[in-house]
């Protein structure tokens, strides 16, 4: 497994480079928005990747609540961390795209507001994991993750349920997309997904080692307190 990590890193870097070339050079220029539309190839895949990571966080949190499996707790934690990063990219690229197209950086429509609320829930999740030392912290965090996961479908379907300034989806919503644009979009999503997996894998190994070290320190402190010199 250790040898696979650098190989995956090289392949992911190559795929990200190829996806960058496709997005900035090969993809056709959108007739209405021009080159600013190319941020679409980062905005949308980032959102999809974040949703997948939050879904994995939800499943892992349920597994931890049911079985109290430490491995499930670690998976939930690392997916939330990486998911927040990708959700942050969504919130940053969205206004950058909106400013030249809509004329404003932000509008409090349902899609944008619900995405911000989703981000705040998972940031709160990470703050709880980072600063709470209670033995019940994993349980409380898992419960919060379940709440956060319920917001994901609401964010996704909000443009169907409400009238928003956010455009309708080009796939599954009655829209259309140039086949070459769709090709670039999916390649970028694949690249982002591989990168997310790489980071989660590395973070999982690091968190596992850190918990083992903390457990050893706790056992050593307990033994010292039982056997004072």
Tens digit of each residue's pLDDT (9 = 90 or more) over 36-83: 889 999 999 999 999 999 999 999 999 999 988 899 999 999 999 999
Q: Where are the domains of the chain?
A: 4-162+174-226
- For the entire predicted model, the pTM comes to 0.88
- Orientation of helix 70-102 relative to helix 179-226, angle to 10°: 140
Among 31-40, 44-53, 121-130, 149-158, the minimum mean pLDDT is found in 149-158
Q: Chain-wide mean pLDDT for the chain?
A: 86
**Is the model's pLDDT at 227 over the cut of 70?**
no
Write down the pLDDT at residue 84: 96
**Is the model's pLDDT at 170 over the cut of 60?**
no
**Is the model's pLDDT at 175 over the cut of 60?**
no
Q: Are 41 and 184 in contact (CB under 8 A)?
A: yes
**Is the model's pLDDT at 172 over the cut of 90?**
no
């Amino acid at each position: 497994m250790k040898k696979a990590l650098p190989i995956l890193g090289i392949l992911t870097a190559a795929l990200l480079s190829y996806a960058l070339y496709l997005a900035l050079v090969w993809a056709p220029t959108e007739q209405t928005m021009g080159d600013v539309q190319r941020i679409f190839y980062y905005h949308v895949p980032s959102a999809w990747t974040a949703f997948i990571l939050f879904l994995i966080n939800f499943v892992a949190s349920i597994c931890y609540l049911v079985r109290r499996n430490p491995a499930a707790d670690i998976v939930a934690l690392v997916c939330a961390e990486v998911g927040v990063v990708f959700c942050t990219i969504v919130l940053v690229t969205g206004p950058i795209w909106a400013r030249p197209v809509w004329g404003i950086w932000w509008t409090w429509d349902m899609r944008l507001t619900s995405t911000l609320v989703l981000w705040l829930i998972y940031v709160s999740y990470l703050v709880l994991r980072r600063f709470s030392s209670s033995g019940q912290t994993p349980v409380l965090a898992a419960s919060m993750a379940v709440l956060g996961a319920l917001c994901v479908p609401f964010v996704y379907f909000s443009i169907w349920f409400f009238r928003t300034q956010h455009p309708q989806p080009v796939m599954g919503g009655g829209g259309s997309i140039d086949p070459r644009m769709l090709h670039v979009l999916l390649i970028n999503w694949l690249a982002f997904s591989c990168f997310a997996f790489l980071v989660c894998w590395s973070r999982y190994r690091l968190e596992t080692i850190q918990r083992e070290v903390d457990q050893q320190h706790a056992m050593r402190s307990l033994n010292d307190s039982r056997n004072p010199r």
